[in-house]
Structure 1
Amino acid sequence: MAPTDDTAQITSEAATPAGTAPPAQPPAGAEQGRGAGMPRWLPRAMVLALALVACFQLGSWAFHQLTGLLINILIAFFLALAVEPAVSWMAARGLRRGLATAIVFLGVIIASAGFITMMGSMLAGQIVDMVEDFPDYLDKVIRWINQTFDTDLSRVEVQDSLVHSDWLRKYVQNSASGVLDVSAQVLGGLFQLLTILLFSFYFAADGPRLRRALCSVLPPAKQAEVLRAWEIAVNKTGGYLYSRGLMALISGIAHYILLQILEVPYAPALAVWVGLVSQFIPTIGTYLAGALPMLIAFTVDPWYAVWVLGFVVIYQQFENYVLQPKLTAKSVDIHPAVAFGSVVAGTALLGAVGALIAIPAVATLQAFLGAYVKRYDVTDDPRVHGHRRRGDTPLLTRLRRALTPPGREG
């Protein structure tokens, strides 16, 4: 027989010793409350989430602090890719790779130092000429002011007012205080240049070792892809540099001949300036390169500046449509619109550095991805070349026929 409630109560009372209170029964919802408490995994999940946030903040801070170093390493890597063909050529002929890299970099440093020396001498000469001719310029300005505004100024009065003016004294004080800032910037720039040269030297000298170390952690199939990408990057970057160097040489010679004919001073330095700036500064390099010789030619004769401007424009067209396609067809074969877009994107991402490395980087990416794009033969259709097929009715004729009432056609 099943026990009833009264029987269960009597049994529990009998099981309790005499003189002791029966044990308190837990509340009905206690077990449910204990089961509905905080899960065991929640504290660990919160700690893990906080750790991830802390790691992200630390990584973001470290990346922000190391941005300058990473950009320098990127520049050094592309510079090493650019000199890789010359270094490999010397190494293939028995020269040690480290010595070959040192010879190439020594040549680059000597060429850069020569260019800076030439431009510095030209700038110093122009400054000296301006200082020597300043009294004559001042006399002409004072004479024009006296004739135009009926005044009686003299050069001595103007010089005294300038020397004893407050703004000149403040300008000299600010310039003196800014010398330290300029010196710090110069030292910082030299340190960055040294960093780039050291990294690029190591990348170029230890290129095979670096490739072996990279391939040692990859499966054989991935190793072939990495080596192919590396080879494409070397070919495109080196080809871009050498083709630009050749075009800079041709441009410099052409502009040197013009400046010599016009008897413009500092013709060699100006020719080197035009050649390098017009080729290695994308998009706006041509305008920057042509502005300086135009300015110097204007000091000789204003018409000479017009001649220089016309020659720069004509030579630019010759270079764009005749010279550049032949020299860069195999090295950097990208569309001009793609090149311009890559320069804009590189400038937005990395500034001037991005503008310099954008074209070889895009050319490398295009050549690498081109192997994975399946291409087909194009049908021999006139519309591919922008022509209509025979028998096609022009759109205006069809519209005219559609709008003409029946019976009036013809």
Structure 2
Amino acid sequence: MAKSQPKRTEIPAGVEIATQWSWRLLVIAAAGFVGIWLLRYFSEITVPIAVAILGTALTVGAVDWLEKKGLPRIAATASVVLSMLAGLFGMLALVGSQLATQVSDLKSNVVEGIDQIQDWAKTGPLNLTDTQIQDWIDRAKSSITNSDTSIFTTASNVGTTLTHLVAGFFIALFASFFFLYEGERIWSWVVALFPKAARDKVHSSGQTAWASLTAFVRATIFVALVDAMGIAFGAWVLGVPLTFAIGVLVFLGAFIPIVGALASGMVAVLVALVAQGPVVALIMLAVVIAVQQIESHVLQPFLMGKLVAVHPLAIILAIAAGIAVAGIVGALIAVPLAACLNGVVKHLVNDAQPYQDEPEPDPA
């Protein structure tokens, strides 16, 4: 006689399925939270490594090309890294030179602008007296004088930040060198950490992510150059000072898609407002918006292509999440990470075997 199955409490199927999904999602969310916390806790290491990976994706093609031309890999790597450093410090030197030659004129324009604001406050609708204006100035001075402790605290924080930046620069520099020199060996070591059954999938997913990241970074460099040249050229035509410095700032800001070039372009509008008044500032604003529209509707869709195609809504959400997690650095890394995840998910879905039910046992 067949043994009867033990009775169990009746639970609706929908509730049971929802419960199973819920605890699994909670475990995934907890693991993700711990992972993000670890990345933030070790940010002095993880952020330079992320920057080094982006730099490697940009320049590994040059190292491979030099190696094909007969140059030893280590010499090719050293040449590319030194060229990157020369370009970086050369750009900073040009920006510093322009700031040194034009900042005095900009100061004069700022002082003149403040005088105009004071005149407007006296003769305009506010109709303030000299005594009232001076009282406001004295209050501002008093606030600054009474905040010595906060100023010292801020200075200490700035010093700590500069120390981290210097340390992070050297970590990124050395990491970039070794990623370029023996990146395949490092990746093989990472793949070997996974179980044997999963290594093929991990390796192919890594190759897909790397292809997506390389395409994304190279396309972003071109887009950033177009943004910087367009806005800097507009500033030069309008006679706005600090043109090269504005171009460099826009170039760096354009690495955050959609919002970066627009936000950094506002600096050009502000400089135009201070230096040449509201009319030129409005024209400069129109130039920034025009360049941004060309980027969003022409360059980004054309250059990114199907390989790293990420919906604009996904880009905005990724940037917002990156800012919430790690500020500006998070916004910089979020979109490349989303592009890599998009490529890997597509690869795994396309490579997955269709699901088949197991055959039922033969009753005979």
- TM-score, normalized by length of structure 1? 0.63
For 2:270, which of 271, 290, 295 is the aligned residue?
Answer: 295
1:291, distance to aligned residue in structure 2 (A) = 0.6
1:308, distance to aligned residue in structure 2 (A) = 1.7
For 1:285, which of 252, 257, 260 is the aligned residue?
Answer: 260
Query: 2:340 is matched with which residue?
Result: 364
Structure with the bigger RCO (C-alpha within 8 Å, sep 6+) is: 2
Aligned 8 A contact 1:75 1:353 in 2? no
Aligned 8 A contact 1:84 1:234 in 2? no
Return the letter of the residue paired with 1:191.
Answer: A
Query: 1:183 is matched with which residue?
Result: 159
SS in structure 2 at match of 1:303: helix
Query: 1:237 is matched with which residue?
Result: 213
The reply to whether residue 94 of structure 1 matches residue 70 of structure 2 is yes
The reply to whether residue 203 of structure 1 matches residue 203 of structure 2 is no
1:36-47 equivalent positions in 2, closer than 5 A: none
| Alpha-carbon distance between aligned partners in 2 of 1:214 and 1:292, rounded to the nearest angstrom | 43
CA RMSD, 1 decimal: 3.8
The verdict on how the C-alpha distance between 1:169 and 1:346 changes in structure 2, with shifts beyond 3 A counting, is closer
Return the letter of the residue paired with 2:332.
Answer: L
Larger Rg: 1
| Alpha-carbon distance between aligned partners in 1 of 2:128 and 2:349, rounded to the nearest angstrom | 78
1:285, distance to aligned residue in structure 2 (A) = 1.0
The verdict on how the C-alpha distance between 1:102 and 1:275 changes in structure 2, with shifts beyond 3 A counting, is same
| Alpha-carbon distance between aligned partners in 1 of 2:119 and 2:300, rounded to the nearest angstrom | 52
1:251, distance to aligned residue in structure 2 (A) = 2.3
Aligned 8 A contact 1:252 1:275 in 2? yes
The verdict on how the C-alpha distance between 1:192 and 1:272 changes in structure 2, with shifts beyond 3 A counting, is closer
Query: 1:264 is matched with which residue?
Result: 240
SS in structure 2 at match of 1:351: helix
Identity of aligned residues (%): 26
| Alpha-carbon distance between aligned partners in 2 of 1:258 and 1:353, rounded to the nearest angstrom | 28
The verdict on how the C-alpha distance between 1:172 and 1:111 changes in structure 2, with shifts beyond 3 A counting, is farther
Aligned 8 A contact 2:53 2:179 in 1? yes
Unaligned runs of 5+ in 1: 1-58, 376-410
More helix by share: 2
1:336, distance to aligned residue in structure 2 (A) = 2.0
The verdict on how the C-alpha distance between 1:94 and 1:182 changes in structure 2, with shifts beyond 3 A counting, is same
1:8-407 equivalent positions in 2, closer than 5 A: 63=38, 66=42, 68-121=44-97, 123=99, 127-129=103-105, 131-132=107-108, 136=112, 140=116, 143=119, 151=129, 166-167=142-143, 169-170=145-146, 175=151, 178-216=154-192, 222-277=198-253, 279-298=254-273, 299-374=275-350
* Higher mean C-alpha deviation, range 170-179 or range 89-98: 170-179
Aligned 8 A contact 1:252 1:271 in 2? yes
The verdict on how the C-alpha distance between 1:222 and 1:128 changes in structure 2, with shifts beyond 3 A counting, is same
| Alpha-carbon distance between aligned partners in 2 of 1:150 and 1:348, rounded to the nearest angstrom | 43
| Alpha-carbon distance between aligned partners in 1 of 2:128 and 2:223, rounded to the nearest angstrom | 56
1:303, distance to aligned residue in structure 2 (A) = 1.6
Aligned 8 A contact 2:258 2:296 in 1? no
- TM-score, normalized by length of structure 2? 0.70
The verdict on how the C-alpha distance between 1:371 and 1:315 changes in structure 2, with shifts beyond 3 A counting, is same
Query: 2:355 is matched with which residue?
Result: none
